Each structure stands twice: as structure tokens, then as C-alpha cells.
Amino acid sequence: MLSSLYKTYSKTSVTNTIKRLNSTMPKKDKNGTAIVFMNMGGPSSVPEVKDFLYQLFSDYDLIPISKNYQPTIAKFISSFRSPKIEKQYAEIGGGSPIRHWSEYQASKVCEALDKTNPETAPHKPYVAFRYAQPLSKDTYKKLLEDGITRAVAFTQYPQFSYSTTGSSINELIRNKKDLDKDDQIAWSIIDRWPKNDGLTSAFAENIQAKIAEFKKEDPDFKEEDLTILFSAHSLPMDVINMGDSYPAEVGATVYSVMEKLNFNYKYRLVWQSQVGPKPWLGAQTADIVEQLNDPGKEKLILVPIAFTSDHIETLYELDLEVIGESKHPKNIKRCESLNGSETFIRGLIEECDHHLKNKTPFHKNLDLDFVLAKKDPNGNAPLRKFFTK
């Protein structure tokens, strides 16, 4: 009798203990975690250029023209500008490489996270572009088809701007409302990472490689004759004057890179890609290059500090226009883009690893970013309701 009671008690105790342990252990989602790289994107082929331009100029968050007539205006602008932009893409090989590099980077991140973060594995790579294939809406449909229930939106704009990351967030929220009314997918977001160690170290390594080229080519090279120009995509002053955090965060990236270079060289932050008649953030990259390159003595290194991979702004605007049309092109080098840099990909992995383990749904400044952009996070952009874990 006593023996029977003891066996029953032991089995019950063991069962209860296992239940208690299971209740305290983190739940592992059998479908794993989607890591979604968000970016502007670029046309992968010349025939995609017109639609890319239409999507871009239709975005009121990026280019505020007219809420009522923006699509009509975008249709006109894209038709008008397509022939010129198509020629530019033809000159850089027939399309943008940004999709290739985004898919490569995302796959490498997920491979590493499966080993470092088994509790959220398997990690599945996705790319969601705002203006090119694969468009954000198509990627969201794919996530639902694949049965994804947890996803991390990982902006590939390291420095936050409402015009870029903010626009992608708004599109993500619209897609969820249209496609995911049952809330199948729980989202969190990495919305900025301007001082990420892998990011800034990769830039520093690529700059040092260009300095080594100058030294090899010119035995009389002197460090005091070198200026590093960090070039970032400019924004209209209308956006900046609302308190957008982009200039400060780009500056933080630049400063972190120069720290790694021990501030051994002169440097300046400049801005590129201005379009339209409105005032934009300056000084403009092309103007500063022309000024410094004119005597023919100064060595210049251009660093695309706000881009994580090559696209039209590096391959055409910097390489063929700014450098190609300069008076002394041999004195200017463009720093390699991050693309497949192992140091950079390590930084991406570390950023995701920290995010998954920290379980913070989004950066504390994101609410303020939307308030200053006159988008109430509790109204038009319900951030706390949308980003949950």
C-alpha cells in the first residue's frame, strides 16, 4: 500500500515539476522568426525603372507634393524622367544590385542567428522594398503564405528619417490592416543603428584600403593632403525643420568611423541627390568636390555613409558624375560600399542578436519621430499596438 502511494506521489510530482518548468521556459515558435530587410530598393532591370519612379514619387512621406493629387503627379513625373534614368541604369550594368546584396546579407544573418539564437530559430530571410520588387505588400503576402507568426522588421537605413524608415513603417502598418486583419504576425522593429560597431568598422576598413591605394600610387603622399568626404543622401529642409533625427544620426555614424581612424585625417559630412527647386540639406557633395579638387593637389575619398550596398547613387552619381566629371579624377577615390563585407555582416548579426534577446519592440525615440512628423503614434501610426515584442 505504502509502496503504491509512493509511486503515485513520485509520478505526480515529476509531472507537476515538468509542467512548472515548461511554463517558465521561453516558448519557441515552430515557424521561427522572419528577419525582414526593409529598404528603398532599386529596379533590377531597365524595364522596371518607370514603375520604380512611379512608386517613389507617389510616396507622400518621402516627397510631399500633394496628398490629393500625388499619384497623378507621380505618373507624369515618372513618364517624363524614365528615359533619362533608364540610360543611367543601362550605364551601370542594366539595373541596381541592391536586391542581390540585400538577399545575400539577410541570408547570412539568418544562418548565423540559427546558431546564436536557437530559441527564436529557424530564422527566415525576407526583403521588402518600398519602391521596387519585391514590394512590401508582396513580401507581406509571402510571410502570411509561409505561416510566419513572428517577424522583425530590420531597416537597412542605419540612420532614422521619417522620410525613409518612417515611410516603410507606415507602409507596413497599411499592409497589416489590409492583409493581416487576424493579426497572424507579431512584429518588432530595428528602426536605427547608426553607431553599430560592424557598420562603422567596415567603413573604417574600406577607407583604410583606399588610403593604402593612394600611398602605393604616390610615394610622396602626405596625410595632410587627404580629405575624407562622407556623402549621405540629402533631404528637403521642410523635413529637417520638423526635427527629423536623420542629420544627427548620420553625424553620429561619421564621428564613430573617424574615432576608429583616430581622427588622423581631415573630414567633412556632405549631402547628395538633391532634386527639385525646394531648399535641401547641404553642402552638396558635387560642389565641395569641385571646390577641393580644383587645385589638383588635394586627395579625396568619397564615403557613401548612409548606404549599405551599391546602387544608382554610388555607381552612377558618385562614380560617373561626381568623380567622372571632375577636373582631376585620379585624385578622387570612392570608398567601396559595404555589400558583402564580413565585418559589416557581423554587425548586422549582432544588431539582430541584441534585438531578439532584449525583446524591445522599437527604439524609445520612435514615438517622438512620429510626433514631430505630425503623425500621432496613437492615431495614424499606432506604434505600440503594432510593434508588440
What is the C-alpha separation between 229 and 103, in angstroms, rounded? 29
What is the C-alpha separation between 292 and 83, in angstroms, rounded? 33
Residues with active-site annotation: 40, 56, 62, 130-131, 233, 310, 313, 317
280 DSSP 8-state letter: B
What is the C-alpha separation between 173 and 192, in angstroms, rounded? 18
Sequence-separated (6 or more) residues with CB below 8 Å from residue 201 = 260, 343, 347
**How many helices and strands, by DSSP H and E, does the chain display?**
14, 8
Other Cβ atoms less than 10 A from the Cβ of 191: the count is: 23
- Alpha helix stretches (DSSP H) within the chain: 2-24, 49-57, 70-91, 98-116, 136-145, 167-179, 197-217, 237-240, 246-260, 285-293, 312, 342-358, 366-372, 383-386
What nine digits make up the cell of 384? 505600440
β-pairing, 123-129 vs 33-39, is: parallel
Measured CA to CA in angstroms, residue 202 lies from 41, 74, 260, 346 at distances of 22, 37, 10, 10
What is the C-alpha separation between 359 and 189, in angstroms, rounded? 10
CA 208 to chain CA mean position, Å:
23
Burial class (CB in 10 A: 0-12, 13-18, 19+), 12: exposed
What is the C-alpha separation between 205 and 345, in angstroms, rounded? 13
170 three-class SS: helix
Angle at 363 between CA 279 and CA 142, to 5 degrees: 90
